[in-house]
Amino acid sequence: MMSGLRTILKRSVLLALIVIAAPIRADEGMWLPSLIGERIDDMRAKGFRLTAEDIYSVNAASMKDAVVLFNGGCTGELISPEGLLVTNHHCGYGAIQSHSTVEHDYLTHGFWAQNREEELPNETLWVRFLVRMEEVTDRLAAGESTEKIREEASERGRYRTAIEQMYYGNQQFLFVYEQFDDVRLVAAPPSSIGKFGGDTDNWMWPRHTGDFSLFRIYADAQNRPAKFSRKNGPYRPKRYFPVSTKGIGEGDFTMIYGFPGNTQQYVTADAVAYVVEQSDPMKIDLRTRRLEIISAAQEADAATRIRYAAKHASIANAWKKWQGELLGLQRLGTVAQKQAYEAEFARWAAGRPEYAQLLDSLHAAYRTAAEGYYRQELCNESVKGIELTTLGAALKQYAAKPSEALAERIAKLYRDYDPAIDRRVAAEMLHGLEQYHPRPLPEAYTAETARHGGIEGYADHLFTASAIVSYETVEPLLRDTAALRRTLAEEPVLRLVGIFDRGRIPRNLSNLPAIERWYRPYMKALREFDRERPFYPDANLTLRVAYGEVAGYWYADAVYHRPLTTLDGIIAKDDPTIYDYDIPEQLRERYAAKDYGRWGIPAADGGVTVPVCFLATTHTTGGNSGSPVINADGELVGINFDRTWRSTMSDLQFDPAICRNIAVDIRYVLFTIDRIGGAGYLLEEMELR
């Protein structure tokens, strides 16, 4: 893999045709739902048959009331009047894993509650509905404080509130949420369906992954949020999505409603160059090394495979995304395109004193801040890639403010921890740290490595001299926080962290205060300079609407990727000797007998098959996992779960030729529930059309 990466990095950038901010394409953009009326004509021209009020309304039930932020990082949607919620399998993965043991391996075999009593509670899982959003830019400019606005909107603590910046602070919006904390696992397919293709197929097309899981929201007798209680009943939503069984085809309208996490559409060439030349290559390499060690351990032991499953998936997801991002940005020549655009802007700004020096100021800010940011990113991927540092951080938090919930979290961390694996990771991460760290290395670090005979000896020392490697030694310390604090003060791995760690940094280099301060006037200037371009705000984990159509794309010369996959493709990949492609025997049997029930569709060869996944042109990113894919009539046709590999660069630049989101066809979800899980009773509470 690394030789291929080096080839990528050495490859000269192929300059694409420079397009200076042509008007935005209908399939690009993540639009604020409260302002969707500004886009509704374009949506209807593409086939949408409902109104802006159907999408977002404060005064009446609307689609927004059927969409939730799922546990802070994904999206979910309501599909029944009894609080039934569907999201991705990978979004529910942690909950599924937490209930799994070697004896009851729900990851491998799936979980299907046959009644409400069998639904499994999850102590730390929550969902959040958007109640309303409103612009408060003028109120803040008039002197109102964010605290006052938020406090008033919370209605004495009933709602959670946040004020979020759009366009780097040129506009401010208040978001009001209602959070539910009693969310129970209802069903999950076997990982051989929900994670079919695994890391091999992740971010790729064609895809055949049944990436879904089912949960149910519970509420008190007044339908209000409540902590877990057997007295709670299913939440009665204001709105839920009807489920289409009619299917979709190429060219059909699609809309995604969800919580995209992070994009950087308007950053300068400096930011893109940092990603392409420094950040992505380093992070890809270090995660490759971690994954190789963890994968080898998983292959050698079934219990380790389960304990490290969620960790492996978490590490691998971003790892592969960065690879595709790097390829996509290089293919498009995004750095060069940005430079050309900025040159045009500079010529325009030269005659406007308030804007003339903006680009120079941005360039200078990047030059000053980039190395410090890079050092912290390197620390996060190398030093903090050692799992023992995570344990140390959790224990420090407990020592400062003990709680039963944190004690339980620490116990769980240790249950899923193997020091032998981590010792091997530690040595590899220290090698990577030295490889990528700007010279000179800190004297405190070189003194430690010299004292212990080099990297391998130092890695050994981190574990042999540690008092927190084992839960058996940690557990008594949880009852004596003074002793715990004394122990942590002498902990070698925490001293290592202290040498390199300079604290939390923003997700992106461009969000450093020293840089971001220049983006507020820059965005204002861009919107004056480029008046034909409809600007949408960057994603920031607030609710957004995106829309496009079902469409394939040209992957390479003479290679066209059609937008629909079927069960036939799963069978073609099926290989019991490869974990990622070993499907359940039950699925093989259904295929052999063509026993698809009501979910069969005509196949290309004249037979019968089952639809599995599809592509669309909709603009998505992380956080959109689990988002509903909605047809022109407002019906659920799929669940978004991924993007194609090279289109991951759409966080920085959207390319309509190749940028595609990947969704599981809702008919495959229904087929799996019905014919594989034997949980057809769940379909009875859905509105199937």
Extract the tokens encoding 575. 């290989």
User: How crowded is residue 437: how many other Cβ atoms within 10 Å of its Cβ?
Assistant: 18
Q: Are 660 and 335 in contact (CB under 8 A)?
A: no
- Active site includes 561? no
Torsion-angle region of residue 214: left (phi > 0), alpha (psi -120 to 50) or beta?
beta
Q: How far apart are CA 104 and CA 107, in angstroms?
A: 9
At 146, which helix (H) or strand (E)? helix 146-154
Q: Where do runs of H (alpha helix) occur along 350-417? A: 358-381, 387-400, 404-415
At 183, which helix (H) or strand (E)? strand 182-188
Residue 132 β-bridge partners: 176
Q: Are 561 and 205 in contact (CB under 8 A)?
A: yes
Q: Are 520 and 170 in contact (CB under 8 A)?
A: yes
Q: Are 182 and 135 in contact (CB under 8 A)?
A: no
Question: What does the chain come to in residues?
Answer: 689
Q: Which of 57, 279, 510, 625 is catalytic?
A: 625
Residue 169's identity, in one-letter code, is G
ω before 206 within 30° of 0 (cis)? Answer: yes
- Active site includes 625? yes
User: How crowded is residue 354: how many other Cβ atoms within 10 Å of its Cβ?
Assistant: 10
Q: Are 57 and 34 in contact (CB under 8 A)?
A: no
Q: Which residues of 586-611 are buried (b: 16+ CB within 10 A; e: fewer)?
A: ebeebbeeeebeebbeeeeeeebbbb
Taking CB atoms within 8 Å and a gap of at least 24, the contacts of 190-193 are 190/107, 190/108, 190/109, 190/110, 190/584, 191/89, 191/107, 191/108, 191/110, 191/309, 192/108, 192/582, 192/583, 192/584, 193/110, 193/583, 193/584, 193/587, 193/672, 193/676
- Active site includes 211? yes
- The residue with tokens 């045709």 is 17
**How far is residue 33 from each of residues 256, 259, 523, measured CA to CA in Å?**
11, 11, 21
**How far is residue 169 from each of residues 29, 136, 560, measured CA to CA in Å?**
19, 11, 42
CB burial of residue 122 (10 Å; 0-12, 13-18, 19+): buried
**How far is residue 609 from each of residues 249, 255, 338, 574, 667, measured CA to CA in Å?**
15, 26, 46, 16, 11
> What's 596-644 look like in SS3?
CHHHCEECCCCCEECEEEEEECCCCCCCCCCCEEECCCCCEEEEEEEEC
Q: Which residues of 55-79 are buried (b: 16+ CB within 10 A; e: fewer)?
A: bbbeeeebbbbbbbbbbeebbbbbb
The closest of 564, 685, 666, 559 to 614, measured between CA atoms, is: 564
Rounding to the nearest 10 degrees, give the CA dihedral for residues 517, 518, 519, 523: 130
Q: Where are the beta strands (DSSP E) in 442-567?
A: 544-549, 553-556, 559-561, 564-566
Q: Which residues of 633-666 are buried (b: 16+ CB within 10 A; e: fewer)?
A: bbbbbbbbbbbbbbbbbbbbbbbbebbbbbbbbb
Q: Which of 57, 80, 90, 100 is catalytic?
A: 90
Three-class SS state of 8:
helix
Q: How far apart are CA 392 and CA 201, in angstroms?
A: 34
Q: Which of 211, 252, 285, 642 is catalytic?
A: 211
Q: Where do runs of H (alpha helix) occur along 12-104? A: 40-45, 52-55, 93-98
Q: Helix 334-349 to helix 309-332 angle, to the nearest 10 degrees? A: 60
Catalytic machinery residues: 90, 211, 625
